[in-house]
Copies of this chain bind each other. A is one copy, B any other.
Amino acid sequence: MNINEIKIGDKVSVSKTLTQTDVYMFAGISGDLNPAHVNTVAAKEGIFGKPVVHGVLTAGLISNAIGMHLPGPGTIYMSQTLNFKKPVFFDDTVTATVEVIEIIKEKFVKLSTICTNQDGEIVIEGEAMVLPPK
């Protein structure tokens, strides 16, 4: 959608269960083989007691919500802030919700970007700035 179709308060959510498969594929893509993600034995002795999903992988759901829905195809992604609030574990179902919070100079759109788990706990909070399609 273009800038004229977007108003403050517009909101979209996407959900996905993030599995071991996702984590292992992302480890290969990113080269991030941190034992916190791909070593069950080491992760058991870590602070969370079991392997966790890469934070940046979870942020992929925000990219999904922005790139597919709000503003959707043609959007230029300018910036993203990510505050990792809680761990995401294998098989957690994460919902990314993006909401328009500001329209700047009738050109740029600022979105609040929140990811929650199946218990409603916030796992990522942050904001994105995007340039919607012409």
Contacts and interface: CB of A to CB of B under 8 A. Distances in A.
Interface of A: 14, 16, 22, 25-26, 28-37, 42, 46-47, 54-57, 59-64, 67-68, 72-84
A111 to B, nearest CB: 14
Contacts of A42: 73
Contacts of A55: 63, 77, 80
Nearest to A128: B82
Contacts of A83: 78-79
Contacts of A68: 31-34
A42 B74 CA distance: 9
A116 B78 CA distance: 16
A59 to B, nearest CB: 5
Contacts of A81: 79-82
B59 A31 contact: no
Q: Which of A30, A31, A47, A84 has the most CB of B within 10 A?
A: A30
Q: Which 7 A-B pairs have the closest CB atoms?
A: A30-B60, A34-B67, A32-B64, A31-B64, A56-B63, A80-B82, A79-B83
Contacts of A61: 30-31
A9 to B, nearest CB: 23
Nearest to A67: B34
A60 B74 contact: no
